[in-house]
Chain A
Amino acid sequence: MDEEPHSPGPSIRSSGRVQTRPLSPHLQIYGWSITMAASITHRATGMALSGGVLLLAWWLIAAATGAEAYAVFVRVAAHPVGQIVLFGLLWSLAFHLLNGIRHLAWDLGYGFKVSTTRLTGALVYLFSVLLAAAAFAVGIMVRQGLGV
C-alpha cells in the first residue's frame, strides 16, 4: 500500500523499524493570513492578466482591421458582461502593480518586518480596489462625454 506523504504518524521503512518523523502539515492546516492571501492573489491576478493580454490583442487587431471590426469590440466591451470582465482586469492590474512594487521593495531588502508585511498587504488590497474603482469611473465619464 502506498504511504500517504502528508499524513503524520508512523511509517514503516525498509529496515522494518517504525519511525515517527515529524512531517510538515499540508496547506489546509494553516489559518489564513493577509500575507498568504496577497501571495496567492498575486498569482491569480497574474493569470487573469495573461488572459487580459489576449483581449488587448483583440482590441489592437480590431483597431488595425477597420471601423466594423472595431465596432464589434466596442459593443462587446460595453455589454454588462464585458464591463464586469474589464473591471476585473482593471482591479487585477491595480493589485498586481501595487503588490509587484511591494515585491520589488522586498527585493531591495525593505519591509520584511512581520507587522510591516501585514500592513503593506492590507494597503495593497485597499488601494487596488480604490484605484480600479477610480479608473472605471473615469472610463464611464469619458464614455458619457462622448455620448456613446
Chain B
Amino acid sequence: MSTFRTPLRRIEGLGAAKTGTTHFLRQRLTAVALVPLSVWFVASALAYVGAEQGAVAAFFAEPLNAILMALFLLAALYHMSLGLQVIIEDYVHQEGLKLAYIVLVRFVAWGTGAACGYALVKLALGTPI
C-alpha cells in the first residue's frame, strides 16, 4: 500500500490544509478590482480637497459615483480582512489569541462597511441634485 489516504481524499487533492485556494483567489480577485477602483477613488477625492460638504454630497448623489464607491469599499474591506488575517496567522502563535484577532478584524470590517454603507445610501438618496 503506497498511501494511507482514501481514494476520495486523493481526488479532492486538498491535502492537510483541508480547504483549497479560496482565500488566495479572493485576495487576488479583490486586488485586481482595487487597481482601477483605488485609482478612481484617489482621483475623485483629490478633486474635492477642501471642498464644502454640499459639493461632496452632490458628488455621491450621482448614481455612478455612489455605485463605484460602494464597490471600492466592499473590495477594500474584504481585501483588508484577508490581508490582516494572513499577517495575524504569521505572527500570532497562540491559538486563542489568533482567533480573537481574526474575529476582531472581521467585526471591524463589517462594522466599518455597515457604517459606510449607511452613509453612502444617505448621501446617494437624501440629497436633491
Binding site for B on A (CB under 8 A): 43, 46-47, 49-50, 53-54, 56-57, 60-67, 69-71, 74, 78, 90, 93, 97, 100-101, 103-104, 107, 135, 138-140, 142-143, 146, 148
Q: Which residue of A lies closest to B117 (CB)?
A: A60
Q: Which residue of B lies closest to A49 (CB)?
A: B80
Known A63-B56, A93-B38: A146·B50 in contact at CB below 8 Å: yes
* C-alpha gap A30/B5 in the complex (Å): 40
Asked if B10 is at the interface (CB within 8 A of a chain A CB), the reply is no
Smallest beta-carbon distance B31→chain A, Å: 5
How many contacts A-B (CB < 8 Å)? 89
Contact B116 A100 (CB under 8 A): no
Q: Which residues of B contact A47 (CB under 8 A)?
A: 84, 87
Asked if B22 is at the interface (CB within 8 A of a chain A CB), the reply is no
Asked if B51 is at the interface (CB within 8 A of a chain A CB), the reply is yes
Contact A43 B87 (CB under 8 A): yes
* C-alpha gap A127/B52 in the complex (Å): 32
Known A50-B84, A53-B76: A67·B38 in contact at CB below 8 Å: no
Out of B50, B115, B123, name the residue touching A57 (CB < 8 Å).
Answer: B115
Q: Which residues of A contact B102 (CB under 8 A)?
A: none
Smallest beta-carbon distance A59→chain B, Å: 8
Please provide the chain B residues from 1 to 39 with a CB less than 8 Å away from any CB of chain A in the complex.
Answer: 28, 31-32, 34-35, 38-39
Smallest beta-carbon distance B62→chain A, Å: 14
